[in-house]
Structure formats: C-alpha cells, structure tokens
Structure 1
Amino acid sequence: MRIRLCLTLSLILWTPLSPAWGAERPNVVLVITDDQGYGDLGCHGNPVLKTPEIDALFKESVRLADYHVAPTCSPTRAALMTGNWTDRTGVWHTVLGRSLLKENFTTMGQIFQNAGYTTGMFGKWHLGDNYPYRAEDRGFTEVLRHGGGGVGQISDAWNNAYFGGSYFHNSRPVPVEGFCTDVFFDAARQFIKKQKAAKQPFVAYIATNAPHGPMHAPPESSVPYQNLPVDLANFFGMIANIDDNVGRLRAFLAEEGLAQNTIFIFTTDNGTAAGDSINNGGMRGKKGSEYDGGHRVPFFVYWPEGGLTGGRDIKPITAHVDVLPTLIDLCGIPVDSSIHFDGRSIKPLLSGNAVEWPDRILVTDSQRVKDPVKWKQTAVMTSQWRLVNGKELYEIAVDPLQTLNVIEQHPEVVTRLTQFYDAWWAELEPSFKEDALIYLGHPAENPASLTSHDWITEGLPPWNQGDVRKGLAGKSNTGYWNVKVVEEGDYEIRLRRWPLSADAPLDASLAPGDPVPGDTAFRSHPGKSIPIVHATIEVGDQKAAIDVPSGAREAVFKLPLKAGATRLSARFQTKDGQEVGAYYAYVKRLSSLK
C-alpha cells in the first residue's frame, strides 16, 4: 500500500546524522500559541492587529507556507510531540480521556533528553494531568504548566485565572505573579540562562494558553483594540502580549550569545478562535473546521548558524507530524530504529537542497467524539488538492476559499486520495480500542487526583471550574475513568464536589471569585449549593455506597483493589433524587498485598 511505502522511506531518511551545520549541537526554542490563526498576524495581512516582533521574525525566517495541524488543541500537540498521526496516539479530542497521550509513544522530550539535552516545558501541556501522561513523565526535566487545556479548567489549580494563582512546577503547585504568558516566558528565560551556565544544549518548549478563551489580557495590551467587542479586544490583546514576549525572548537569546545556534520556531496549534471576522488569511473555516482555516497555520523557523534565514517560503505541503523528525535531523540526534514516525524530515526543503520531493498525501480531522468516526470532519490533502469529508474536492491554488467543489471533474484524484485515506483508516482503526489508563497506586503520583475532565462519557463532561461552580448534573454529566491499578492492595478513595484546596462541604455554596480584566472568568460564577446525601462508587465489579451527612467535605471509601486495568465511576445523589458525578476523586494506595 502507498501508506506503508511512505513510512518505510521515512525510516531510511531518519538514519542518525551528525549535525549538518555548526560544530556544537543547536539549541531548540519552540513557541506554540493556542487558538491563534494564520490571519492573526500583521505579517499575514491583519489590518488591525499589530505584531511587530513576530513580523520581524517572519522577515528573517524560513516559512512553511502550506503547514497544517489538527483543528483543535490536544491533537496538534500529540502529533508535534511524537511525529505521529493524532488518531494513532489516542489524542483525537480535548477531553473524555481522549487527550491522554498513550504511554507507548516516545516524545520529543524523551528523545532529546536521551541525546543529552536538558528539556523544559512551559505553559500548556494538555496531554494528561496524571501519571504517566504529564510533561514531567514524558522527558521534560523542568516543567511549569497549568492543568487541563487552559488556565481555570477543572484540572488546574483551584480559582486560577490568567493573572497570578498557581501552576504546577515539576508536579507541585507553586504560587506565581503576573499574567500567564509573561510567567511562562519568564520561566523559560530562567531555564535557558541556567543551561547556558551549565554549558548544556537545551530544548525550551513554550506553549502558551493564550489567546485561548476566556478572553483576558493585560489592560495595556488590549487598550489599542478597545473599539472592538470585548472578546476580540482581549483576544488581540493576548496576541500583542505574546508578540512582546517573543521580542523579549529573542533579544535575551542575542544578549546571551545564543541566538546564532538556536533553532527558533514560532507556530500555532489550530485555526483562529476569534479573529476570523477581521482577517482569516483568505481561507474558509476557523478552529475546529475541516477546511483550511481550521488547520493551516503559521510556522516560522530561524537558525542563523544553520542557514535558515532570509525570509524564504517553503511551498510544498507539510504538517505537524514532520516537526519532530525534522528537529531530530537538524540536531543530528541518533534515534532507535524501533521508534515510529508518520511524518518525515523536511530538512531538504528547509535547506534548499531538495532535488526531488514527493507529492505527499496528508490527513487531518476534527473528531471531538468519544470514538473516532470515519470521514468525520476530515481533509485529505496534497499541495494541490483538498478532499473534504470524502464528498468535496477543491483545487487549493486556484480556489483557496474552497467555494468550488470540483469532485465530479477529477475522479482520478478522488480515487487516489480516497484509497490513501481508506488504507490510513484501516491501519489506525485497531488502535482506537487501546484506552489510555490513569495509574492508581504508582509512587510517582500517590494519591492520584482525578477530575471530570477525563471522564469517559457520551456528552461533553464538566471541563472547567465554571461548570463545577454551576453544579452541572444529570446523566449527561456523569462518566467513568479508565484506570490501571498498579499494585494490588488497600486503597482509599475520597470523593469531592469541590477540590481539596477549596476545602468546602459537599453541599456548600461558594462565593464568586474575583474578576480579572476582560471576559468573565470561570471563578466569577457563584458556586451552587447541591444537597448531596448519598455517594456510590464502582471499581470494576466492586460496588459500594454510603450516606453523606450535611456538612461533610468528602465521601471516603476504603476498598481492596486488584492489580490491572479497570473502570472507576463515582457519583453523588441528592435528597431530591438527582445524580451528580464526583468532579474530583483522590485515590491513594494505603498498603500492598504483595
């Protein structure tokens, strides 16, 4: 099959190489922003938003002009970290346990760490908040991150907003001051300075949660856009703040004498969430869409010592799965031949030495369901064509807005792309049944802190702290966790409606948290009182239930658990018969039966 041929060829290209340019191994700084689209930059024609620092980077960089990611957050990050199709990694959604990067995949952090690099991750991980899925479990030695998919989401520190609060530093919450993006860039600079002093090559992965909603920005950053609606003003304000930070970071690298031999990348994770009304880069669709506006995004790479300068455009189609193989190639890192990649090194394109380049076929989709559905919001792409949902064909060079469906005129193109997709799907489909399991009783995280973010359910689970405060209930707001009991023994399971850090009774209401500039923060919702009187738990075939007195802060169960994969479901019942899922569960191994 064609897909197998492509993979075999790629493995040949990934034979370990010595560094092609420079005597020392280059450092890597990878900046990826959240929900910023192709048109959300001045250098891409935005008539309102000012991004002078990123515009300057654009002018000096090699640019991937037809670079594609997934239409949403976690899937892009999974592909970026592993060089594999998102659906293969198990990450095809942002919640429902489908944002957990399966543990059998080797990450960028692990590959570079094994090659002697020091690795840092700052900001948004969104590939799992429990062992073994956290950034600190996947090869990153210095980590400062928020929880879940954004600041103030349910896995994040309680009452976090975009200013101040706490983030997880190497698994432990620490207080921070300042706007989130400033905090993450500052932590990255401190990390880089330390590695320079130690004469260590480094990877700094800076993944901002901005400009993802809710729309909060430093007032000084959003002031120039106050004539716009509040959400858009703060969306642009967040990007302006990112632009300032990119400029400060580049100036810092120059001052430290690191700019020449640092591979500096700027990119984003999907199409715009809010800026399409001003400038959408001449494309159709936005975040979540199968059309180009959902997944074609900026990618600028600058490396003076490697010759990656000069403001050049790379026109052949490329994708997120290519980033890791390319960085491995550029840095001359030996990689075990057993590690699989779906992407390929585009070093020949970047260096201008590509004598021949294949007419590649790439796939992206937007599943956002519990289990993948064939052809759901799918684009099968080449440099010339886009086959959308198996029913629409666009010749992208002459129809970038994807308005003229020419599927009837090019049956041979449709056949070729459909055959590729069918083979692609058949190869990946068996892996869809391989659930990512949260570990219980592992010494790296004991107790394990589970949240409804990772419930397996048919609907959208409560995923942010506003949902918890609202007390979302009913069948559509319950679910179960896929877990792995690491060691047989006695376990304590503490069920809570409010997290430990809130320390509030199960049936208590909570006052709203303080507002922050911009949109309404998740914490600004008042916490609804729920009259909880009963709690039930199921772990595999074990079931238990207890009554809950008024004022109790938690419902505590102690159960003997056998080692192995299972499901854990925890629920509360109210005095009026309503069912509420336990948004938080803390599971601790008390003793071993070995």
Structure 2
Amino acid sequence: MLVAAQPNVILVMTDDQGYGDMSCHGNPVVQTPNLDQLHALSTRLVDFHVDPYCSPTRAALLTGRYSARGNVYNTLAGRCYLHQDEITMAQTFADSGYRCGHFGKWHLGHNYPFAPHHRGFHESLMLGDGGLGATNDYWGNDRFDDVYFRNGEPEQTQGFGTDVFFAAALDFIRRNRDRPFFVYLATNEPHEPWNVPPQYSDRYREFCAHEMHRLYGTIDKIDENLGRLLQFLAAEGLADNTILIFLTDNGTVSHGYQGGMRGRKGSEYDGGHRVPCFIRWPGGGIPAGRDVTTITAHVDLLPTLIELCGLKPKQSIAFDGMSLVPLLRGARDDWPARTLCVHAQQPGLPFHLRPQKWYRFAVLTDRWRLVNGTELYDMRADPLQQVNLAPQHTEVVARLRSTYDTWFDEVTKRSAEFCEVILGAPGHDRAWLTMINVTPADGERFAWSQQSARHAFPINGFWAVEIARAGTYEFELRRWPREVNLPFHAVPDHDAKRITPTRARLTIAGADVIRPVDPTTVAVTIQLRLEPGHTRLQTWLIDDDGTQRTAYWVYVTWLDKP
C-alpha cells in the first residue's frame, strides 16, 4: 500500500562490482556487513541484467531503453554520448517536481548537451566523465583530495573520493528534504585503479592474489559509506518513505570468486551482465528478504519508479523496459514471458565505428541463454554455462536468433549518426575536447587515459560537433591540459614521453589552419569565423619526421559576447 506522500528515491550504483563481490552472495573473503543488511531488508532481483560495460548500462538505466537506441554502445571514441533527444530519469523526476542530484561517475558526456546538469539534474558533483584518470578527468586525480566538477566547474575537494560523493549526497538530501528528491549516487569504485587507504586493503592481503586485496579494500569503503547512508536515513526519519535501490554497472573484474557464473566484465556470458539489484521501500509495500527470480533488467527500473512514485512524464516514452511493480508486490500470475538481449560492442583494438551485428551478444529468457548465436545454455540446469545444448534444441536456437536479428536492426537504426558536442549554444560558450572522445577511423586505434597522453599515444581522428551560432570561435590546442600548463616539448615527470612537434594543424567546417610550434609554445590559439552547421573538428601535432598525433586537449570558446 502506497504511503500518502511521494517517496524519495536514492539509486546507488557501483562500478565494476560483480554479483559475487559481497559476502551475502557467498564471497568467502570480502566482508560487506552493510550490503548484507540492505540485502536482508530488500526485495532482491536475482536474475537482473545490465550491459557488460559502463556507459551502455548507464544509458539504459537512465532512459528505460536499450542503450544502442541512444547511440551509446561504447565507453569512448564519441560513442558514449547519450543522444540529446533521449529523456532521462532525472528529467522525468524533475518534471514531476522532484529535486534531482547526481554524485560520482557519469560517463555519458561532459560537454553540452550531455553532462548531468544538462539532462535534468539540478545539481551534480562528478569526476571526469570517463572515470578516474581519463583525459577528461582533472589531471592527477587519484581518489585523494581530488578536483571534481560541480555543474561543470572544477572544485577542490578534501578526502577520499567515495567519502566525498556520499557526503555530498547526504548534504543534498538535508537541503532538499522538504520536497521529494531523487539522488543518483554512482561511485567510481571498485573500478581500477584500486587506490584506497591501506587499512581497508591490508586486512585482505593474506587471502588474495593478483592485487585483489586492493579491489576488496575499495569495496570495504563502499560498504562503510552505505552504512552511513542507512544510518542517516533512519536518523532523519526518511527511511520509510525512501525507495533505496542498489545495483552495479557490469560484471566483476575480480580474479577470485565470481558468484557461480561464467565470465567477467565485458563478457557476453552471465558473469558479464548479471548483477545484484536490491530494492527497499519499507513504507511502500515492498517486502524485505524476498527474491524475485523472474528475469529483469536495467531498462525496467525507470518504468517501475514512474509507477511507484506516481510520476507524470511530460513526454511519451517508448520504453523497452516494463514496470516491475507486480513482481515487487508478489503478483506474478499474469506476468508475460520475456526475451531480453545484451551485446558487448566494446572491442579491443581495432575500433568499430558502428556496432557490429552477430558480435558478442546474448539472448536471454527465464530458462535459456543463446550466446553468439551458436551456444545454447539451460540456466536452470547449467548456471555455469558449460554444456552447449544448441544441437539438441535447434528450434530454440532459431527462435532466439530471429529475436536477436530483429532486435539489433531495430535498436541500431541511428548508428550511422554521431552525437555532436554543441559549440556556442546560448549559455554554453565553452567546451573542452580530449583524446578519450576522439573518433578514429574504422579499424584504427583508440585511447582514453592520462597515461596514454603521458606516453604520447599516436591516436588521431575527429570530434563530431555542431556550430550553434555564427560568430568567432577560439580553439586552443594543447599537448597538456591547462592545469598542467607545460609547453608541447616539455614533460611533467620522468615517466612521460617527450615529443617535439613543429606544427599544429586544425580543420573544421572547410577551414584548414597550420601554426608553428617552438620549444616554448604552451598552446596554439586559432580564431575562426564560423557559421551554424554540423561538422567535424580534427587536429594534428606534426613532428619534422612526419609523425602525427591529435592535440590531446582542445579548448573551445565562443567569443562574440552580447
């Protein structure tokens, strides 16, 4: 039975924590007493699926639609931007009067119109969009006293990253408790690098190999903060009317216990995409300590929350997901049989410019998993996916292959499009572009990290952009970000590779400009008069021997102030 007031919603999602990375799911090493408590207090979706990688899961979670519909099928190279016409969970809550806050990881774009404060969140505190150490993270962040971005502006913080984001979320709740609120708290842990205070990791050292003690130390930190959140909600009288959801974004990266599944992060087998999902609402008729065994997915959570919270979306949304309210309240008699699809389009090298059909996918039902079109597993008898039954069940294989064939064609209709960073839109005069979202040519290499920039990775490609307004635009090409502020030929430390470009080149909207670079040049600045339109921006740093690579950081400013 619903309580009278609209419930608050807190959605906690961790990064690279698998189904088995908690003691309540049988892990014999890591200790997670607060996750265990939440598990006991919640209804658990035990056959719950996401995408095998970060950005696609986040896109599907926030829209209730398969990620490829929003042109998100990768975590970099311009293919992790959520299309601007997709309606997010935050926009849906905001339209119904909720105050919306985002804290932690985003990974769906940091420039306009992709950042969280462009997509319905009233307040956001985030690390660099691709995660810790990405080229769009603040240089040198290591989880300790980092610089994060509050509504797009850098802000110095104090403390360990997970602590900072949980504290910011609690502060947001305190300031907004007089109205319904939605908090999306997405940690960057336990994603690598596993930097954590040693007292959290040392306790596991004797039980672990392959640096797993550090991974479990980051999970300890998450668990500690989840305990703080549970205590806070109880102390503030908010627990009964707050829907608290916990899930993770993909399978584990652990080399240890994997929850009795085949595969890890990135895999098309269940270990890559079956994750925990706990839903707690004491005042809303969702029972504690109950398992829902029916197959469910990330795309179901937004339709579910719309029904639970009585939201009134301003626009009609063609969801791929379904409201799980009947399952959460125990009414399963008329629940339809479902077939879901997942794919792992993030390749190694080389890069795929568009999603590839018949590439690393699974078709899921309550009973069956069809993997890569040729392997069929009966999950009731074979949860480890060891015995391929495709030869014995050809009719099931044919049916599920047909489902995938239709699904892929439907969800990738817009895959030839590029989600464009908009330059010069009113109120958005500045943008900064980095190598993580350079789109290379099909079959070429890509890179994402500050380490790649430090080692002068030879990447090149383009950024898809839209010129919003006619006017003068300034492009500032750099080898190092502004916060480092070194010349092109210099290095910040002995581990970095020195390069000696003598020319910098930029092309955009028919313009092609080359400028000299000398040993003292910190940035090459180019001003161009541009007209509105859709185009591609590309840059080159060129050595005398002909070696070419992109400018790793490009800052863009619209100069024609009113």
Same fold (TM over 0.5): yes
2:3 to 15, 18, 22: 22
1:131 and 1:444 in contact (8 A); partners too: no
Counterpart check, 1:73 vs 2:54: yes
- Aligned amino acid, residue 455 of structure 2: K
For residues 144 and 358 of structure 2, the distance between their equivalents in structure 1, rounded to whole angstroms, comes to 41
Equivalent position SS for 1:403: coil
Percent identity for Structure 1 against Structure 2: 46
- SS of alignment partner, residue 392 of structure 2: coil
Cα separation, 2, equivalents of 1:77 and 1:272: 16
Amino acid at match of 1:482: A
Gaps of 5+ in 1: 1-19, 513-525
**Counterpart for residue 506 of structure 1:** 488
Instruction: Summarize deviations over 1:472-510 as a string: whole Å, max 9, x none.
Output: 12xxx1110000000122211110010111111111111
What is the CA–CA distance in structure 1 between the aligned matches of 2:132 and 2:439, rounded to whole Å? 22
How far the C-alpha of 1:354 sits from its partner, in A, is 2.9
For 1:144, the equivalent position in structure 2 comes to 125
Number of the residue aligned with 1:236: 216
For 1:177, which of 158, 164, 187 is the aligned residue? 158
Q: Which residue of 2 aligns with 1:449?
A: 432
Residue 281 of structure 2 corresponds to residue 303 of structure 1: yes
The question of whether the paired residues in 1 share the 8 Å contact of 2:92 and 2:314 is answered with no
Matches within 5 A, 1:282-301: 282-301=260-279
* 2:95–2:313 Cα contact (<8 Å) kept: no
Secondary structure, aligned partner of 2:245: strand
Q: Write out per-residue CA displacement over residues 214-244 of structure 1, whole angstroms, 9 at most, x where no aligned residue.
A: 1211212112112234631111000011001
User: Are the aligned partners of 2:146 and 2:161 in contact in 1 as well (CA < 8 Å)?
Assistant: no
Correspondences of 1:87-486 after superposition (within 5 Å): 87-196=68-177, 199-227=178-206, 228-229=208-209, 231-274=211-254, 277-336=255-314, 338-368=316-346, 369-457=352-440, 458=442, 459-473=444-458, 477-486=459-468
In the other structure, the counterpart of 1:571 is 540
Tell me the SS of whatever aligns to 2:262: coil
| Structure 2 equivalent of residue 44 of structure 1 | 25
Letter paired with 1:427: E
Matched residue SS, 2:222: helix
Question: Is the CA contact 1:47–1:278 (under 8 Å) kept in the aligned structure 2?
Answer: no
- The offset of 1:355, in angstroms, is 2.5
1:553 equivalent in structure 2: 522
User: Shift of the alpha carbon at 1:426?
Assistant: 2.0
Would you say the 8 A contact 2:84–2:113 is kept in 1? yes
- What are the within-5 Å matches in structure 2 for residues 56-67 of structure 1? 56-67=37-48
Distance in 2, matches of 1:462 and 1:43, equals: 37
Change (3 A) 1:156 1:43: same
- Taking the aligned partners of 2:430 and 2:246, their CA distance within structure 1 comes to 37
Secondary structure of 1:245's match?
helix
CA contact under 8 A between 1:222 and 1:236: conserved in structure 2?
yes
Per-residue CA shift, 1:293-340, capped at 9, x if unaligned?
000000001100012232100011000110111111110111245222
Q: Give structure 1 regions of 4+ aligned residues with deviation exceeding 3 angstroms.
A: none
Structural RMSD (CA): 1.3
Normalising by the residue count of structure 1, what TM-score does the alignment of the two structures yield?
A: 0.91
Q: Distance in 1 between matches of 2:446 and 2:179?
A: 43
Cα distance in 1 for partners of 2:549, 2:524 equals 13
Moved more, 549-558 or 29-38: 549-558
- How high is the TM-score relative to the length of structure 2? 0.97
Out of 464-473 and 241-250, give the one that drifted further.
464-473
Report the Cα distance in structure 2 between the residues aligned to 1:146 and 1:140, rounded to whole angstroms: 15
Q: Is the contact between residue 129 and residue 148 of structure 1 (CA under 8 Å) also seen in structure 2?
A: yes
Counterpart contact for 1:488–1:562, Cα < 8 Å: yes
- 2-structure distance, mates of 1:125, 1:310: 30
Alignment partners' CA distance in 2, 1:29 and 1:350: 17
The Cα shift of 1:527 comes to: 2.6
Q: Look up the match of 1:536.
A: 505
Q: Distance in 1 between matches of 2:238 and 2:259?
A: 33
Give the residue type in structure 2 aligned to 1:354.
Answer: R
Name the count of aligned residue pairs: 554
Conserved 8 A contact 2:103-2:124:
yes
**What is the Cα deviation at residue 418 of structure 1?**
1.7
Q: Which amino acid aligns with 1:543?
A: D
Describe the shift of the 1:463–1:411 C-alpha distance in structure 2 as closer, same or farther (beyond 3 A). Answer: same
SS at match of 1:533: strand
> What SS class does the counterpart of residue 587 from structure 1 fall into?
strand
Cα distance in 1, alignment partners of residues 468 and 314 from structure 2? 28
| Structure 2 SS opposite 1:591 | coil
Runs of 5+ in structure 2 lacking a partner? 347-351
Aligned counterparts of 2:146 and 2:426: Cα–Cα separation in 1:
27
The SS at the match of 2:217 is helix
Q: In structure 1, what is the Cα distance between the partners aligned to 2:301 and 2:142? A: 31
State how far apart, in whole Å, the 2-side matches of 1:282 and 1:76 are.
Answer: 22
| Superposition deviation, residue 21 in structure 1 | 0.4
User: What is the Cα deviation at residue 449 of structure 1?
Assistant: 0.6
Any conservation in 1 of the 2:517–2:524 contact (CA below 8 Å)?
A: yes
Question: Residue by residue, what CA displacement relative to the aligned partner does 1:336-360 show, whole Å, maximum 9, x if unpaired?
Answer: 4522211110110001123311110
Preserved CA contact (<8 Å) 2:509 2:530: no
Distance 1:247 1:155, change over 3 A: same
Which amino acid letter does the alignment assign opposite residue 147 of structure 1? G
